[in-house]
Amino acid sequence: MSDITAFIDDKVKSNDVFLFMKGSPDFPQCGFSGQVVQILNYLGIDYGSANVLESQELREGVKAYTNWPTIPQLYVKGEFVGGADIVREMFQAGELQSFLSEKGIAVKQTA
């Protein structure tokens, strides 16, 4: 396992909710990352994040890790959930809130 794969694996498995994104939760640097941050913040979710813009190796490593071509990527309890479109659709349908609750993640708001 490469160093970057080990780093990604550690982040995904040691955080209940983890977001690989462009920018940071305080300063998202793309609209899609911003959407996912807004949803997680609205739901009051505690989550970790990593800025893929800080490392080309991380950016490419994340895409290879899930075989998913886009950023952001959201993980819950080690499981890949999806990118911005999937997270937004799940949130709007109420499925994200149910999914998080089933995984034992406290949700403070509901849509």
94 annotated ligand binder: no
Residue 89 CB coordination number (10 Å): 12
Structural contact between residues 22 and 28, judged by C-beta atoms closer than 8 angstroms:
yes
Alpha carbon of residue 26 to chain centroid: 15
Structural contact between residues 71 and 20, judged by C-beta atoms closer than 8 angstroms:
yes
Give the H/E segment covering residue 73.
Answer: strand 73-76
Sequence ranges of the binding site for [2Fe-2S] cluster: 30
* Binding-site entries: 30
